[in-house]
A and B are shown apart, each in its own frame.
Chain A
Amino acid sequence: MIRLGRHGVALAGVLVIVGSAVLAALAPALAPADPIRNDLLSRLTPPMWMDGGSGRHPLGTDTLGRDVVSRLLYGARVSLLVGFAAVLVAGAVGVALGLVAGYYGGRLDDLLMRVGDVQLAFPVLVLAIAVLSVLGASLGNVIVVLGVTGWVTYARIARAETLSLRQRDFVEGARALGARDGAILWRHILPNVLPPITVVATFSVARTIIAEASLSFLGLGIPPPAPSWGAMLDEGRNYLTTGWWLALFPGLAILLLVLGINLVGDWLRDALDPRVERGM
Chain B
Amino acid sequence: MRPLSSSLSIPDGAAPQQARRLLSAGVAALGLVACAGHVQPGGTQPAPSHADGTITGSWDRAQYPSTYQRHPNPPVLIRNATILTAAGPELKGASILLRDGKVVAVGQDLAPPADATVVDGSGRYVTPGIIDTHSHIGVYAAPGTFAESDGNEATNPVTAQVWAEHSFWPQDPQIPLAIAGGVTVIQALPGSANLIGGRSATLRLVPSRTVQAMKFPGAPYGLKMACGENPKRVYQSRGPSTRMGNMAGYREAFIRAEAYRRKWDEWLQHRKGPPPDRDLQLETLAEVLRGHILVHNHCYRADEMAQMLDLASEFGFAIRSFHHAVEGYKIADLLARKGTAASVWADWCCFKMESFDAVPQNAALLEQAGVKTIIHSDDAIGIQRLNQEAAKAMYAGREAGIPISREQAIRWVTANPAWALGIDSVTGTLEPGKAADVVLWSGDPFSIYSKADQVYNDGWLVYDRHDPTHQPATDFDLGITAPGVGQ
Pairing of A with B: no
Residues of B within 8 A of A (CB): none
